[in-house]
Amino acid sequence: MFKSLSLFAVVIVVLGVFTNYYLQRVPDMPKLDLYRWWGDGDKPNQEDETIRPFKIVFNDTMIDDLKMRLRNRRPYTRPLEGMQSEYGMNTIYLEKLLKYWQDEYRFKERADLLNRFPHYKTRVQGLDIHYIRVKPEAKGKRVLPMLLMHGWPSSSKEFDKIIPMLTTPRDEYDFIFEVIAVDLPGFGFSEGTNKPGLDPLHIGILMKNLMNRLGFEKFYVQAGDWGSQAATHMCTVFPDDILGFHTNMPISIKRISKLKTLIGSLFPSLVVEDKYRHRMYPLSDTFSYLMRESAYFHLQATKPDTIGAALTDTPAGMAAYIFEKIGMASNKNQLHTPHGGLENLALDDLLDTVTILWANDRITTSMRIYAEAFVTSEIFIIYEIPTKVPTAVIKFLHELIYQSDFILRDKFTNIVHSTTLDVGGHFAGLHTPKELVDDVFESVVEFIKFHEKNYK
């Protein structure tokens, strides 16, 4: 009996030491090149820092070529009997979307709609970066700078519904936002790099340098998907420069977070509130979902140029690939419908997204972010360093991953606002813009309180 107790005590001590020194040890910040050159060739002695107005144009040459390729596409194989979207994109439904793109989508009008905001380009670390900048007219209101960052396969287009909401004064708030909605490098109208290594960490650094270029030393950030990862690293590396971070895809992948997730599979109440337990457990459901839906992730994380080459020459194929992933991420429970979740978003918004990808030849450059995110050792060190930046999280029902605040606090030590909704999906700016913006306003109130309390 005494020997058993002694052995048990030794095991507890060893586990404690392991937890303290391995799982919870905070590594030193790696030395980072904050001005690494991503442009062609070597860094010049004098960089071009001019800011240039930009206008989105869907020109006739591109439109005619696109329509010709859509007209000349080969017939699709029909879905199996009784199947909807279980095997992937429903090709009968896809035909309807492509016909609309070919015959009814108003290219020029959609470009004009995108151009209702002021667009600009400037070169940052060698890359031509496109962004929208909207300054509000708000007498008697404080104007707060807000950087918006999207993910794959989006662009700043994803924010065109929420920009007017963020820049319109509300009686109940004494502040309003000046919005900078950016296209990440290799996405939308922003230039991609021909150099390896531009991962979400270095994208975060580049975005911080963009904001400094625009005159903002401190600012707020709202982001989802890969934009959220880039923003997370930005908060970790520059904690004194980010006034608050609002994310609709909060994730901690620290080692201790992974252990907590596993422990929660045995004792869920230790990790997650009972009313949200079904969003995390049983883990077998999560693994089944990942096995079903993550093949694209593995492909893009290992061989992005292969699938990029397969899609570059075919707008119909590119649309099928993109639409299927957007649908799943918008409602994971609509696999048994012809649209597979796509009808949660407006058709013109979907076609804006694929038209921007097609017109700018961004399918390969945008997918490379998946591969870059798993290459450099620096990024894995940064993952383990918590950030003190006040953070707000909003969790929509069909977001790809759900983590409880108990886990998220491993990375984000100052979560000041947390919202969990029974609606919405991954593309919140297009799907549930009002809910997203309402939460941003509420969160910024908490950010301001946090700073007033801690930095008097």
Q: Would you name the residues annotated as active-site residues?
A: 225, 370, 426
Report how far residue 44's alpha carbon sits from residue 37's, in angstroms, rounded to the nearest whole number.
9
Strand, helix or coil for residue 175: strand
Tell me how far apart the alpha carbons of residues 206 and 421 are, in angstroms, rounded to a whole number: 32
Q: What angle do CA 381, 386, 387 make, to 5 degrees?
A: 120
Half-sphere exposure of 348 (CA within 13 A, CB side): 12
Residue matched to tokens 């060739």: 41
Q: In what order do the strands lie in the sheet with 127-134?
A: 51-54, 119-124, 127-134, 175-182, 142-149, 219-223, 242-247, 391-395, 415-420
Beta carbons of 269 and 402 less than 8 angstroms apart: no
What residues pair up with 51 in beta bridges, in sequence order? 122
Burial of 169 (0-12, 13-18, 19+ CB in 10 A): middle
Cβ(89)–Cβ(318) below 8 Å: no
According to DSSP, the residues that pair with 175 across neighbouring strands are: 142
Q: 147, 182 in Cβ contact below 8 A?
A: yes
Name the residue among 351, 315, 273, 390 with its Cα closest to residue 111.
351
Q: Which has the closest alpha carbon to 374: 301, 293, 298, 305?
A: 301
Q: How far is CA 155 from CA 174, 210, 216, 302, 325, in A?
A: 30, 16, 22, 23, 16
Query: Quick one: DSSP state of residue 17?
Result: H
